[in-house]
Amino acid sequence: MTKLVVETDDNWTKKKIKGAIHTEAGLLRKAVQRIQSKLRDFENKHGKFDRNFLYGKVDDMELLEWEGDLETLERLKLKLKSLEEITFEYK
In tens, the pLDDT along 5-54 reads: 888 889 999 999 999 999 999 999 999 999 999 999 988 887 766 666 66
User: Average pLDDT for residues 76-83, to the nearest whole number?
Assistant: 96
Q: Give the helix/strand (H/E) hosting 67.
A: helix 60-84
Q: pTM for the full model?
A: 0.81
How many Å apart are CA 82 and CA 79, to the nearest integer? 5
Domain residue extents for the chain:
2-90
